[in-house]
């Protein structure tokens, strides 16, 4: 059995960001990824552009958007900015780049390594390998084993249904249709040669089968053919109940840091991963970034709760939100997780 300073369960953006920062400070780090390949995941691929931004090379971005088209039941508004508001990335390419960067920093990465058991100071994989640790980071997504082992429940999951459609799409679009999606939304997020087209909504009030049929209905009105394609689905955890538990940490979706309002989770995963690493390196470190992230997360949760009433009240509140965005009373950045 080999000992590591930090074992990170999950090789997504948050886990790899945490691992890289630790390894650059000379710590021996192991990342255990259950899948055979780092990177691919059901994801729309949109990331808010928030100064100072994320440390990605320019060529990693697929497309950048200085405008956002927001459609509701009664309104259509275009939010404009002199600089990009949202950029898109391909999760597969992002994962490969982050894994290469982590490995170059000295991180040990094991794929097809499903963690099945966690004890006080060690983890055991399905293959029977054991690794001991001084620190453990749960970066293992919405169904996090590390979270379950800590005894932290999850309620209020969201569900995302996603298609990748070939073609040259020029505009980034958000569609708030309370009749079809409740307080969720459908999206069109253009990438280089395709677009991510899908829907996000609360799982508790939307059965996936009905949500998919409603997505087909919405897409048909826009001459978007989805039925012949294979959908992808993912659960999204926005039930945040803490991230630092002595020598154990939860980051990203494992912590429930994805936005309950938009479902966006890449930015919060990377930021929480880096801040967990800084806290591991310096127990006295006070993370202002995590405080800001949690504050924004709670704001999104309050808005989501406000729009979880009757269909009429949900429609009126969402229409009011779009009006405030259109008139500048609420900046679009208030909806981002940055």
The label of the residue with tokens 């958000």 reads 174
The secondary structure of residue 123, as a DSSP letter, is: E
DSSP of 279-330, one letter per residue?
A: HHH-TT---HHHHHHHHHHHHHHHHHHHTSS-HHHHHHHHHHHHHHHHHTSS
State the pLDDT at residue 44: 82
State the pLDDT at residue 203: 85
Compute the average pLDDT of residues 329-336.
Answer: 71
pTM: 0.93
State the pLDDT at residue 3: 95
How would you list the strands of the sheet with 185-190, edge to edge? 76-80, 67-71, 173-175, 185-190, 194-202, 158-166, 232-236
pLDDT tens-digit map of 96-109: 999 999 999 999 99
CA torsion angle for 52, 55, 57, 62 (degrees, to 10)?
-80
State what percent of residues in the chain have pLDDT above 70.
96
pLDDT tens-digit map of 112-154: 999 999 999 999 999 999 999 999 999 999 999 999 999 999 9
pLDDT tens-digit map of 252-289: 999 999 998 888 899 999 999 999 999 999 999 999 99
Which contiguous run of DSSP H or E holds residue 134?
A: strand 130-138
pLDDT tens-digit map of 36-76: 988 777 678 888 875 455 778 888 999 999 999 999 999 99
Q: Look at residues 231, 209, 179, 210 and name the one whose alpha carbon lies nearest to residue 71.
A: 179
Task: Map out the domains of the chain with their CATH numbers.
Answer: 2-42+90-155+239-306 (3.50.50.60), 49-89+158-236 (3.30.9.10)
pLDDT tens-digit map of 230-262: 888 999 999 999 999 999 999 999 999 999 888
Other C-beta atoms closer than 10 Å to the C-beta of 253 total 29
Other C-beta atoms closer than 10 Å to the C-beta of 245 total 15
State the pLDDT at residue 251: 98
């Amino acid at each position: 059995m080999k000992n590591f300073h930090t074992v990170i369960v999950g090789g997504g953006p948050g886990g790899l960001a945490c691992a890289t920062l630790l390894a650059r400070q000379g710590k021996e780090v192991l990342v255990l990824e259950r899948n055979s390949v780092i990177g691919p995941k059901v994801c729309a691929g949109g990331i808010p552009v928030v100064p100072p931004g994320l440390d990605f090379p320019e060529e990693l971005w697929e497309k950048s958007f200085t405008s956002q088209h927001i459609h509701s039941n009664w309104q259509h508004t275009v939010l404009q900015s002199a600089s990009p508001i949202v950029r898109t990335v391909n999760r597969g390419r992002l994962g490969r780049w982050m894994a290469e960067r982590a490995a170059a920093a000295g991180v040990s990465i094991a794929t097809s390594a499903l963690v099945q058991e966690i004890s006080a100071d060690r983890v055991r994989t399905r293959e029977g390998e054991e690794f001991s640790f001084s620190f453990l980071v749960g970066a293992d997504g919405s169904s996090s084993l590390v979270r379950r082992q800590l005894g932290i429940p999850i309620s209020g999951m969201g569900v995302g249904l996603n298609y990748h459609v070939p073609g040259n799409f020029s505009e980034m679009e958000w569609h708030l249709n309370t009749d079809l999606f409740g307080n969720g939304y459908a999206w069109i997020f253009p990438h280089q040669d395709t677009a991510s087209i899908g829907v996000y909504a609360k799982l508790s009030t939307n059965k996936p089968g009905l949500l998919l049929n409603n997505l087909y209905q919405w897409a048909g009105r826009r001459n978007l053919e989805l039925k012949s394609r294979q959908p992808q689905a993912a659960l999204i955890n926005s039930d945040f109940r803490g991230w630092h538990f002595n020598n154990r940490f939860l980051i990203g979706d494992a912590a429930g840091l994805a936005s309950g309002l938009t479902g966006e989770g890449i930015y919060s995963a990377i930021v929480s991963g880096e801040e967990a690493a800084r806290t591991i390196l310096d127990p006295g470190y006070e993370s202002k970034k995590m405080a800001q992230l949690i504050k924004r997360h709670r704001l999104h949760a309050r808005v989501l709760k406000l729009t979880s009433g009757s269909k009429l009240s949900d429609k009126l509140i969402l229409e009011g939100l779009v009006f405030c965005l259109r008139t500048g009373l609420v900046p679009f950045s208030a909806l981002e997780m940055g």
